[in-house]
């Protein structure tokens, strides 16, 4: 049931399981009451049948400094390959010979050739192989297909493989991003000795998410670990651009300009190096974003995030950071710094 749901999932190209019901097992069912009438027990019937099927050693040839050759005799294959022939085989009893089908029947069932366990519980792993689709989108579609599946009582479903690794890696990456932002914030406080200005500079980081998200949607990439790495790369570059603008404006205010004229002057002077940095990094990331080389397609989301986030984020930084600076920062506070 789960394998069928996985096969219907968009982005999955093939499915497989760790084991299948492909092993045929033959069962000898002895009628003990009937066997007792002929003076037989279950073990007597099994011993005689085993002698016919597996044969019995009748002689051996000695070898020097090696194991002896064993000679084993058993019935021809034609007599043991068919149920009818096997059931017609004569069994020795205290009352004489009787055919096997007088006291026993043969049946066959299928069972798995391999059984896997985890934590002393039986497990059946269903694998889905993907080509290019994002694992998060595949699992979202799989959850929809799984709604139609009713698992038997006592059966539990657990997601493992790529999605389990992705969730664990994503949690660690989110933690790393939070730590990075906190460290940047403390560094800015040390540099500017002002919490308001430090928070204003950190405000430039979310501006990159807008451009990065639209770029990924346009190209068709999905959220992945390389994309998250791209967001971390953007955090450092875009914060540097905001620092250039605000630091120059603060210097001009301290020289006697009002904050509006100081910020306009900062935009005139600092726009060129800010744009040069953004476009230089974007051009360098173009081959990565294209993912043309073999193996480079895995890092393509990183390039897309870097390009879209830098281009859009840089322009938005040049617009919003000056506006927030002029509205919120007081000249008296800057002069006290």
Domain ranges of the chain: 1-22+112-158, 29-111, 162-336
What span, in angstroms and rounded, lies between the C-alpha atoms of 308 and 241? Answer: 16
Give residue 337's pLDDT band: very low, low, confident or very high (50, 70, 90).
low
State whether residue 226 is helix, strand or coil.
helix
CATH number listed for the domain at residues 162-336: 1.20.1640.10
Largest CA distance in the chain: 125
Distance of alpha carbon 173 from alpha carbon 186, whole angstroms: 20
Q: What is the mean pLDDT of the chain?
A: 78
Model pLDDT for residues 245-295, shown as the tens digit of each residue: 888 888 888 888 888 888 888 888 888 888 888 888 888 888 777 776 666
Contact 303, 286 (CB under 8 A): yes
Q: Are 35 and 21 in contact (CB under 8 A)?
A: no
Provide mean pLDDT across the span 310-325. 84
Q: Would you say residue 27 has pLDDT above 70?
A: yes
Q: How far apart (Å, rounded) are the C-alpha atoms in residues 126 and 157?
A: 10
What is this structure's pTM?
A: 0.56
What integer pLDDT is reported at residue 7 of this predicted model?
A: 65
Topology given in CATH for the domain delimited by 29-111: 3.30.2090
The 3-state secondary structure of 121-177, one letter per residue: EEECCEEEEECCCCHHHHHHHHHHHHCCCCCCCCCCCCCCCHHHHHHHHHHHHHHHH
Q: What is the pLDDT of residues 156-214, one digit of tens each?
A: 777 776 677 777 777 887 888 888 888 888 888 888 778 888 888 888 888 888 888 88
Mean pLDDT over residues 36-57, rounded?
A: 80
Residues 6+ apart with CB under 8 A from 175: none
- Residue 116: pLDDT over 70: yes
Please state, in angstroms and rounded to a whole number, the distance separating the CA atoms of residues 231 and 171: 15
- Given pLDDT bands bounded at 50, 70 and 90, which one contains residue 136? low
Strands (E), the chain: 12-17, 23-30, 56-61, 69-73, 90-93, 96-99, 104-111, 116-118, 121-123, 126-130
**DSSP code of 100?**
G
* Mean pLDDT computed over 221-237: 77
Q: Which residue has the higher pLDDT, 161 or 90?
A: 90
């Amino acid at each position: 049931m789960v394998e069928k749901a996985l096969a219907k999932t968009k982005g999955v190209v093939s499915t497989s399981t760790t084991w299948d019901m492909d092993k045929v097992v033959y069962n000898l069912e002895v009628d003990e009451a009937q066997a007792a009438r002929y003076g037989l027990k279950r073990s007597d019937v099994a011993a005689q049948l085993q002698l016919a099927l597996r044969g019995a050693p009748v002689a051996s040839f000695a070898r020097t400094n090696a194991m002896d050759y064993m000679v084993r005799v058993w019935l021809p294959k034609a007599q043991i390959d068919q149920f009818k022939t096997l059931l017609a085989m004569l069994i020795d009893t205290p009352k004489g010979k009787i055919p096997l089908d007088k006291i026993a029947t043969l049946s066959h069932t299928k069972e798995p050739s391999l059984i896997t366990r985890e934590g002393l519980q039986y497990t059946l792993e269903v694998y889905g192989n993907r080509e290019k689709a994002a694992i998060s989108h595949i699992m979202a579609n799989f959850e929809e297909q799984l709604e139609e599946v009713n698992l038997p009582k006592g059966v539990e479903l657990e997601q493992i493989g790529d999605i389990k690794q992705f969730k664990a890696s994503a949690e660690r990456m989110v933690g790393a991003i939070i730590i990075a932002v906190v460290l940047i914030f403390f560094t800015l406080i040390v540099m500017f000795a002002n919490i308001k200005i430090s928070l204003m500079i950190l405000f430039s980081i979310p501006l990159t998410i807008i451009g990065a998200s639209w770029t990924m949607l346009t190209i068709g990439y999905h959220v992945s670990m390389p994309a998250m790495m791209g967001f971390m790369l953007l955090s450092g570059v875009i914060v540097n651009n905001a620092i250039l603008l605000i630091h120059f404006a603060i210097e001009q205010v301290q020289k006697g300009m009002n904050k509006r004229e100081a910020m306009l002057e900062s935009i005139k002077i600092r726009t060129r190096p800010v744009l040069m940095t953004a476009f230089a990094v974007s051009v360098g990331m173009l081959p990565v974003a294209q993912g043309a080389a073999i193996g480079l397609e895995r890092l393509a989301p990183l390039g897309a995030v870097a390009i879209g986030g830098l281009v859009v984020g840089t322009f938005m930084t040049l617009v919003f950071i000056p506006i927030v600076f002029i509205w919120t920062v007081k000249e008296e506070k800057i002069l006290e710094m």
